[in-house]
Chains A and B, each alone.
Chain A
Amino acid sequence: MSSALLERVATGARWRSWLYRGLGAAAAVGLLALLGVLIPLDWVTTLSSVFMYIMLAEGWNILGGYAGYLNFGMVTFFGVGAYTAGVLCTQYNVHPLLTIPLAGSVATVVALLVGVPALRLRGVYFAILTLIISFLTQVLVTNLGITGGASGIYMPALPFDAFTNEQIFYYAFLFLMVLTVLLAFLIEHARFGYALVAIREDEDPAEILGVRTTWLKTQALLLGACIAGIAGAIYAFHTSYIEPQGTFSLDISIDVVLMSLVGGLGTWQGPVIGVPLMLVTAQVLRILAGELPFLGTALPPEFDRVVFGVILILVALLAPSGVMGLVRRVRGRRLTV
């Protein structure tokens, strides 16, 4: 076979595989859209939270996964988004729909203020700094008058019945999640994504070779922050009450890292796999533990925390590339056969 022909066949095969993948993804999204009207209320709520965490994890993954800068303060941007929506809506009577893009913008601005100095630090020091900034923001929000301090903000309710309400949030989170996953997919296959990976692999040579590392890292942080801010705003309306302890909880930051890690850092599929896996694990554990005689049915939520902590340790130690790492290894093996 001539090489030109070979190439055409290969291109055709590549196109076909893209087509199949695209159709598969569309079918999956269609199925999820259909589920929104088919499944019971508490499932709708659970899936909404899965979608929200996928958004957060994809947003985190841009800087944390591809570029290897572990942000342990993702909740800062999520909380800022939630509070922007809350404050604008309750104090300035801004229309709820308008607060959502504004929340994304404010979170982006905060990320810019934080990121420009913070991204000069590397490795663990960047991680510690982002952690402390999330504490700092929490203290600030707790003590400001405009945020309602420790007593928080009651969000206005939407004028629908409970089920419709849940469905609205279901579709909102689904829509945004699909956009976020698509964005992550595009980044992964674009120069931007390759440059971020180059930063993760070895930052100094990347910089010497002309990769504008500082600007790229900042962009990655801003994108993630914007996504987290939007997610936070919708979360605020969904949960109907926000206060500093829960909205800025370190648990959220850690869960986002853990879920991305379990799925596979630096892959667009990672969060899509990791988030449901962890949330389902938590549910199953609750059910299983409820059956056990000595723990009883009233299992405190801290039990999940302990299990999540153990999983974090085990995955970091034994399977640092997560589920995607295992998938790739199996695929690789198949190819060499």
Chain B
Amino acid sequence: MLTTISLSLLVQALINGLLLGLVYTLISLGLSLTLGIMGVVNVAHSTLIMLGSYLALELLQRLGLDPIISAVVAVPVFFLIGVLLERLLISRVARTSQTTGLLVLFGVLVVIEGAAILRWTTDTQVLTVSYTNASLTLDGIAIAVPRLIAAVIALALVVLLDTFLRSTLYGKAIRAMAQNRDAARISGIDTDRLSLLVFGLATATAGIGGVVLAMIFPFDPQDHYRWLAWAFLVVVIGGLGSIRNTLLAGLLIGLIETVSSILFPFQYVYFIVYLLLVVALLVRGQGLAGSQSRAL
């Protein structure tokens, strides 16, 4: 009896971990894209995720829009935010100095976080929709419906982006730019415009990520650092240049989180993730430097 319960508990934890892992992959994609392709460490990434959550909240409260629809709305909105950020800030610094870029993006982080507190206060928010507490039960294994929906949206985006980068000419050009920017330029690719596209896409995934996270977790303007750490961990473990590896890393982090939250009190999960990130950065941080150094 005991063994069947703990077995089903384990299976449930595994399924939950994989579902969460898909969501973690989604929130890491943007960070991986900007770092891998443009060499920009976007520390403001998680504030964009947080804005995505508030977009879902506003759309739900004002227009009664389901977060599933908000995820679609987030695409153009956040694409535009990303394009503006790239044009106004990133394009001016990214290529001169990575550390100047970092300072600017810390500034962006501070501005967005401060503005979010001014607008929405530090109160914790929850998205409540009809299926918030619904769950599917199968053989004693319960799966929360919001997690399932969040995971499906995340999976769809991961597949879509992977296909885009692998199979379309634009995707190939983006990968070419990541591998050798100057060689891409002399082949006729307008790398400045392509960078706009990349940053727009990265920001759009952050926005959708925020909508999707809001379906499963409460949020406030300040707890986004957690997602910054989670996303960095996924990127550092998964490496740059392959969405499939990012997916594997995301699933791994999802599993680590659910398994360790069974074994330890929840706050230890933060400790474990931060510690893992410190170790991962020490082990392969510099190896992530990417191919930006390659130039004519």
Contacts and interface: CB of A to CB of B under 8 A. Distances in A.
Interface in A297-336: 300, 302-306, 308-313, 316-317, 320
B56 interface: no
A290 interface: no
A312 B107 contact: yes
B102 A124 contact: yes
Contacts of A22: none
B256 interface: no
B100 interface: yes
A329 to B, nearest CB: 18
A117 interface: yes
A127 B111 contact: no
A116 to B, nearest CB: 10
B118 A132 contact: no
B267 interface: yes
- In this complex, the interface size class of chain B, counting residues with CB under 8 Å from chain A, is 35 or more
Interface residues of A, number: 42
Contacts of A123: 98-99
Given A117-B282, A118-B282, A143-B271, A313 B118 contact: no
Contact of A316 (B104, B114, B278): B104
Interface in B217-233: 225, 229, 232
Nearest to A122: B286
Contacts of B84: none
Contacts of B103: 70, 257, 261, 312, 316
Given A125-B286, A306-B115, A132 B89 contact: no
B164 interface: no
Interface in B100-118: 100-104, 106-115, 117-118
Interface in A83-138: 117-118, 120-125, 127-129, 131-133, 135-136
A140 interface: yes
Interface string B264-296: 000110110011011001100110100000000
B92 interface: yes
